[in-house]
Structure 1
Amino acid sequence: MAELFFFLAAAGVIAGALGTVLLRNAFYAVLALVVHLISLAALFLLLRAEFVAAAQVVVYAGAVMVLYLFVVAYVGGIDQPLSGAGTNLRGTSVLFAVVLLVEFCIAILGSGLSSIDTEGTGFFAGFGTPEQIGQLLLTKFLLAFEAASFLLLIAAVGAVILARRRSGLEDPREISVADLLRSSDGGTLSDEKERGSLAEAAGPPNR
């Protein structure tokens, strides 16, 4: 039964990944990615990592996919399929795919394929529990965990700045990033606005 479940989950992983890459409609590509992530959660269950499987479904197949669908619906990718405007990047994408394939081959070949015929690593109590995962993240993988959190923080701040730049400031009482930078040079926001209003009242300079 476990072997059948494994092959079904592996087929779902491969089919979802291929659908994500090959489907030209962005909405269907996101749905294929959902199938891929749920199939990955099934493989985590086979590895007795229940917490990772639950996090995969709740965080990625749930919250992140809802965000992706919202973005696709917002930019209008449902009715209009993706165009072939990025064909000039095809060579670069093939190069990155080859590099990623080599990296995967090195990782798989270095993981001890000779142990497939054996019984494998023994299962111990507490494997895959939130307590053990948290302990590993805060001890052995602390640097990688902090680097990933810092990267997410940078992405969040950048998204906020880009969104404010596009939409602008609707409320005149709101403070923009440029105003904050100008005020940090020694003046205050009220001084900047006062100088601007005085310059407007004086009119253009006489030549």
Structure 2
Amino acid sequence: MELLFFYLVALVAILSAFMVVKCKNPVNSAISLVMTFFCLAILYVMLYAPFMAAVQVLVYAGAIMVLILFVIMLLNLGPEMMERFQHGVVGGAIVAGIVMIQAVMFVNRGEMAGISGDVTRDQVLEVGHMELIGMKLFTEFMLPFQIAGILLLIAIVGALVLAKKEV
């Protein structure tokens, strides 16, 4: 039953990801992206990673998608802009097909990496997911965390500058 549910969620994720690329309206594309994010959150729950599922829903399906929708609405791209970039669809489809074939070949012929970290299953059960992630995030990965925050701030300011009519 679990395998059937996995295949169903994976199918919905693939179809919604396809709709992200295929939709002509950017808002419909963004809504399909939200559905893809929710499917990924379900897959995280199936992998016994509830914190990652919650972060997936809160950060990506919530905050990032609101940011993307605001940028889409502020830029107000008309149909003439969409027609300008139609020539790249065939080339993009060919490149995506080649990358997908390579990924399938890599997964089928590859072996497990065998890399193990310093966190064991017993430690996760004893301490908890969130405490371990928080300890790593605010000690070892503090600089990348701050850089990501600054990049998001720059993206918001850039969207506002692009949306402003007069400089």
TM more than 0.5: yes
1:131 Cα deviation from its structure 2 partner = 1.3
The residue identity in structure 1 corresponding to 2:63 is A
Which deviates more from structure 2 when the two are superposed, residues 144-153 or residues 49-58?
A: 144-153
Match of 1:24 in 2: 24
1:96 Cα deviation from its structure 2 partner = 6.2
Structure 2: distance between partners of 1:36 and 1:81: 28
Match of 1:83 in 2: 82
Size of the aligned set, in residue pairs, is 160
Name the structure with the higher helix share.
2
Q: 1:156 to 1:111 in 2, by over 3 A?
A: farther
Which aligned pairs between 1:108-187 and structure 2 lie closer than 5 A? 108=107, 112=112, 124-125=124-125, 129-163=129-163, 166-168=165-167
Match of 2:58 in 1: 58
Q: 1:51 to 1:163 in 2, by over 3 A?
A: same
The residue identity in structure 2 corresponding to 1:11 is L
Tell me if the contact between 2:74 and 2:163 (Cα under 8 Å) persists in the aligned partners: no
Structure 1: distance between partners of 2:72 and 2:38: 20
Structure 1: distance between partners of 2:21 and 2:159: 25
Structure-2-length-normalised TM-score: 0.68
1:21 Cα deviation from its structure 2 partner = 0.5
Match of 2:41 in 1: 41
How far does the alpha carbon of each residue in 1:6-36 deviate from its partner, in whole angstroms, 9 at most, with x for none?
1122112101100101111222212211111
| Identity score, percent | 35
The residue identity in structure 2 corresponding to 1:4 is L
Tell me if the contact between 1:16 and 1:32 (Cα under 8 Å) persists in the aligned partners: yes
Structure-1-length-normalised TM-score: 0.57
Aligned to 2:82, the other structure's residue is in SS state: coil
Structure 2: distance between partners of 1:134 and 1:96: 38
The residue identity in structure 1 corresponding to 2:145 is F
Structure 2: distance between partners of 1:35 and 1:151: 25
Which aligned pairs between 1:93-108 and structure 2 lie closer than 5 A? 93=92, 97=96, 101=100, 104=103, 108=107
Identify unmatched segments of 5+ residues in structure 1: 115-120, 169-207
Identify unmatched segments of 5+ residues in structure 2: 115-119
Alpha-carbon RMSD: 3.9
Q: 1:127 to 1:83 in 2, by over 3 A?
A: farther
Structure 2: distance between partners of 1:52 and 1:9: 17
Structure 1: distance between partners of 2:7 and 2:157: 41
Q: 1:90 to 1:16 in 2, by over 3 A?
A: closer
How far does the alpha carbon of each residue in 1:152-181 deviate from its partner, in whole angstroms, 9 at most, with x for none?
2332343344455x344xxxxxxxxxxxxx
Task: From the CA coordinates, give the structure whose radius of gyration is larger.
Answer: 1
Structure 2: distance between partners of 1:126 and 1:6: 28
